[in-house]
Amino acid sequence: MIYAEHLRKEFKKVVKEPGLKGSFKALFKPKKEIVVAAEDISFHVPKGEILGFIGPNGAGKSTVIKMLTGILTPTSGECRINGKIPQNDRKNYVKEIGAVFGQRTQLWWDLPLQETYLVLKEIYEVDDASFKKRMDFLNEILELEKFIKSPVRTLSLGQRMRADIAASMLHSPKVLFLDEPTIGLDVVVKDNIRQAIMRINKEEKTTVILTTHDISDIELLCDRIVMIDKGKNVYDGSLHELRENYGQTRELVFETDKSSKLTKEQFRKGLNPNENDLVIENEKNNFKVRFNSNKIPVAEMLSYALSVTKVKDISVKDADIEEIIRNLYRQGEALNE
């Protein structure tokens, strides 16, 4: 369904030296620098899969999505979606896909939402019966009714995002590209959006590529993840395997008595951890202890900490996706070798 083969995208950036002289120089004799936003990215997505496309900030995710949607042309490499090369057949291609860029709306700012959908209906040539059915479905999950008569510019972030999601699904696309569709949303709206993605995928076998920094999105929706960093693939596989291999970091936060402290030396004495398996950060009386639970079981860590210091409160955190990515990157690209 979706093939991305060795995608590479370079941008030319004008570098300006400081000061007025620099400005003139940049104007008349611009010095250009090449930024490699995506170096070499490859992956395949079969029909009906929801793929989590993740990686740290600046990894190149949005750049890749823009190439897949045909907004950008790759410097080299190729992508093929449903047998089509997006850049070659843009007019027909856009009818088969839907896209949401969470950071920026795709909707017309001054048009009431309802009219926006009518315009899209014409552009995508959706017949009346399908349109009605679709709007009912989207209204039901995304609760658009309350603001469907308002101009897009007056919508709150959560309303706007629901409106964008609905717009991307209106023409029953075969493929959906969702670049951070849950960014900045409250739990209820996040849930609405996840439901919409889940249902359209189940009921119509829509293939979805989803970019997010929220691991719950991935856990709830994705069969598989492709992780990139610095423009290159770092991981391709199930979330389960990722957790098994790299997600064993746990974080305990201890609030201690004023007089008590937790130090690495204390832990070294009692638990003898490897350098990379234990990190302690502290702010006043809060001590954040991050450790590899494969090496030091959580129970052992807890009982040891309680035995060496006066603890007032404890909280436990799972490794978040950024943490897993960091660990994965530190440990190299071993899995793909």
Minimum separation from the CB atom of position 143 to ligand ATP (A): 27
Smallest gap from Cβ 71 to ligand ATP, in A, equals 11
Nearer to ligand ATP, 57 or 274 (CB): 57
Q: How far apart are CA 3 and CA 226, in angstroms?
A: 13
- CA 229 to each of CA 54, 61, 309, 326: distance values in angstroms, whole numbers, following the listed order: 9, 9, 39, 10
Classify residue 328 by burial, with Cβ atoms within 10 Å: 0-12, 13-18, 19+: buried
The Cα–Cα gap between 175 and 165 comes to: 13
Which range touches Mg ion (CB under 5 A), out of 60-68, 251-259, 285-293, 316-324? 60-68
233 binds, among Mg ion, ligand ATP, none (CB under 5 to 8 A by kind): none
Q: What is the DSSP string of 307-334?
A: HHS-EEEEEEEEPPHHHHHHHHHHT-SG
**Cβ burial, residue 175 (10 Å; 0-12/13-18/19+):** buried
Q: CA geometry: angle at 66 spanning 168 and 160, to 5°?
A: 35
- Answer with the entry of Mg ion, ligand ATP, none that 11 interacts with (C-beta below 5 to 8 A by kind): ligand ATP
User: Which among Mg ion, ligand ATP, none contacts residue 63 (Cβ within 5 to 8 A by kind)?
Assistant: ligand ATP
Task: Give SS3 for 100.
Answer: strand
The candidate with the shortest Cα–Cα distance to 328, out of 237, 221, 224, is 237
Residue 37 contact partner, candidates Mg ion, ligand ATP, none, CB within 5 to 8 A by sort of partner: ligand ATP
Cβ neighbourhood burial of 86 (10 Å; 0-12, 13-18, 19+): buried
Nearer to ligand ATP, 37 or 175 (CB): 37
Residue 212 in the binding site for Mg ion (CB under 5 A): no
How many other C-beta atoms are found inside a 10 Å radius of the C-beta of residue 42? Answer: 16
Q: Using CB distances below 5 to 8 A depending on partner kind, what does residue 247 bind out of Mg ion, ligand ATP, none? A: none
String of DSSP letters for 179-224: ESTTTT--HHHHHHHHHHHHHHHHHH--EEEEE-S-HHHHHHH-SE
Measured from the CB atom, the residue of 65 and 135 that comes closer to Mg ion is: 65
Measured from the CB atom, the residue of 51 and 144 that comes closer to ligand ATP is 51
Does 62 help bind Mg ion (rule: CB under 5 A)?
yes
Stretch binding Mg ion (CB under 5 A), from 3-11, 55-63, 145-153, 162-170: 55-63
Candidates 5, 6, 11, 112: give the one binding ligand ATP (CB under 6 A): 11
Name the residue with tokens 């070499």: 40
Distance CA 150, CA 110 (A): 9
Whether 152 contacts 160, CB under 8 Å: yes
Write down the least CB distance from residue 56 to ligand ATP, Å.
7
* Residue list 31-70, contact with ligand ATP (CB under 6 A): 35, 37, 55, 57-63
> Is 116 among the residues that bind Mg ion (CB under 5 A)?
no
Residues in binding contact with ligand ATP, number by CB under 6 A:
12
Binding letters toward ligand ATP, positions 81-110, x by CB under 6 A: ------------------------------
Q: Taking CB within 5 to 8 Å according to partner kind, which of ligand ATP, Mg ion, none is near residue 74?
A: none
Shortest distance, position 61 Cβ to Mg ion, whole Å: 5
- Least distance in angstroms from the C-beta of 40 to ligand ATP: 14
Closer by beta carbon to ligand ATP, 43 or else 254 = 43
Q: By Cβ distance, which residue is nearest to Mg ion?
A: 62
Residues 6+ apart with CB under 8 A from 192: 141, 142, 143, 162
Residues that bind ligand ATP (CB under 6 A): 11, 13, 35, 37, 55, 57-63
Residues that bind Mg ion (CB under 5 A): 61-62
